[in-house]
Amino acid sequence: MQELLTNTKTAFKYKSTSDLKLAKWIYGLMHQYPDLVLGLSKVGMTAVEWRLPFAGHIVYNTFYKVFCGGKDLEDCIPVINNLHEHSVLTVLDYGAEAKDTEKEYEAVTQEFLKAIRFAGKHKGVPIISLKITALADFDLLEAYSNGSTSKSNHQVDAWNRVKERFELICKSAYKADVSIFVDAEESWLQGAIDSLVLAMMKKYNTKKAVIYNTYQMYLKSSMNRLQKHHHELSGLGIILGAKNVRGAYMEKESARAKKFGYEDPVHTSKTGTDNAYNKSIGYCFENREEIAFCCATHNRESCILLLELVKQHGVENHPNVMFCQLYGMSDNLTFNLAAQGLKSMKYLPYGSVENTFPYLVRRAQENTSVTNDASREYLMISKELDRREKAEK
């Protein structure tokens, strides 16, 4: 199976040679000069926040071009069409994070509604992604996650507005036949998010998965949480939508546990996380009639695990089984899986350079980490460029 996911001709067929050369240069920087890239990321964040023109221009023509789809929805159309021509679907991800005023929340809500209307008109876009922290205050989410029954009138009013905004988005998605991936947040905010998402699943996931929750498997509690939600919904005849990820807040989770003196919620080793992730994929596949799930990972072994299960059971076209990777990363997985007839997707962030810069910084951090993601990508892109050069001779 491994050779099925390493064909670089299939993986990069959608990219021009000039695009590949830019990606090789970016990954080369992250691979060879990780400290420099991380340092420049911090400087760049400040420069972009100060709206220095040269900063936005540099970011747009380098990292942004590799990892983002466009400055607005119309700007994304060529990328979406290109992906669709190669049998890869798009998950639209508006680059909005951690807003903190009612005016910002309302503006972001309108952007999500606009994305849903757009997706409803494009066959290549079955799903949009959103973060609840773009619609609600961190402190409010924490207050509604910690089990406290004491809430101020201001908090109650604010929470009701959050529920109204989220339901408007979910109702619009249901009517447009578009699904929603709700991103996970820090564990101390997740209780409130779960309550919002499960309420909307019960309302709209009666025949198919419209609303998906996210399960971060680096957390020791996530497998039990996944099973609990499945049992709760299946008893009501509701389909659970599950996006399975390894997770994004590991260091923050461990630091908070240490600060407040409670058990670290994170698995103690990468092996522990890998085992939990693969167990979650196996569980979802076993219950695929009741769980619509997305194997959202760059881990080849996990993708092979699910690929083998799919082929063993002959369910390549099952509507509840899908794969997803980030745009600009792991094309060897996305496009080779699509070539096998599987539902394969790309997470496509879009928005202004200013809005997407925190996302780009995370990509830089992720690809300069000990996981050697940049090295793997660099070698694969180099292999494909060499293949093309030899084919032209």
Report pLDDT digits (tens) over 85-106.
Answer: 999 999 999 976 666 789 999 9
pLDDT score at 373:
73
pLDDT at residue number 41: 67
What average pLDDT does this structure show over 154-161? 96
Average pLDDT over residues 231-257: 93
Query: What CA–CA distance (Å, rounded) separates 41 from 125?
Result: 31
- Average pLDDT value over all residues in the chain: 91
Reply yes or no on whether the pLDDT at 272 is more than 50: yes
Domain with CATH 3.20.20.220 in the chain: 69-204
Confidence of residue 196 (pLDDT cuts 50, 70, 90): very high
Q: What is the pLDDT of residue 38?
A: 65
Task: Give the per-residue pLDDT at 370.
Answer: 45
Query: Could you tell me if 202 and 236 are in contact, meaning their C-beta atoms sit under 8 angstroms apart?
Result: yes
Q: Is the pLDDT of residue 4 over 50?
A: yes
Whether residue 346 is predicted with pLDDT greater than 80 in this model: the reply is: yes
Q: Which residue has the higher pLDDT, 366 or 267?
A: 267
pTM for the model = 0.93
Predicted pLDDT of residue 169: 98
Whether 43 and 33 have beta carbons less than 8 Å apart is answered as: no
Determine the average pLDDT of the residues in 300-315.
96
Tell me what the mean pLDDT of segment 293-310 comes to.
96
pLDDT category at 322 given cuts 50, 70, 90 is very high
Per residue in 324-334, pLDDT tens?
999 999 999 99
Using one digit for the tens of pLDDT, what is the confidence trace for 15-27?
Answer: 999 999 999 998 8
Give domain 69-204's CATH number out of 3.90.870.10, 3.20.20.220, 3.60.40.10, 3.30.160.270: 3.20.20.220
pLDDT digit string, tens, across residues 204-224: 999 999 999 999 999 999 999
Kindly state the average pLDDT of the residues 107-119.
97
Other beta carbons within 10 Å of 57:
11
Q: Is the pLDDT of residue 180 over 60?
A: yes
Task: Give residues with Cβ within 8 angstroms of 164, minimum separation 6.
Answer: none
Residue 54 has pLDDT above 80, yes or no: no
Cα atoms found within 13 Å of the Cα of residue 116, Cβ hemisphere only: 24
In angstroms, the CA 125 to CA 288 distance is 22
β partners of residue 291: 240
Length of the chain measured in residues:
393
In whole angstroms, give the CA distance from residue 341 to residue 42: 41
| CB-based contacts of 127, cutoff 8 Å, min separation 6 | 89, 91, 92, 119, 178, 179, 180, 181, 212, 345
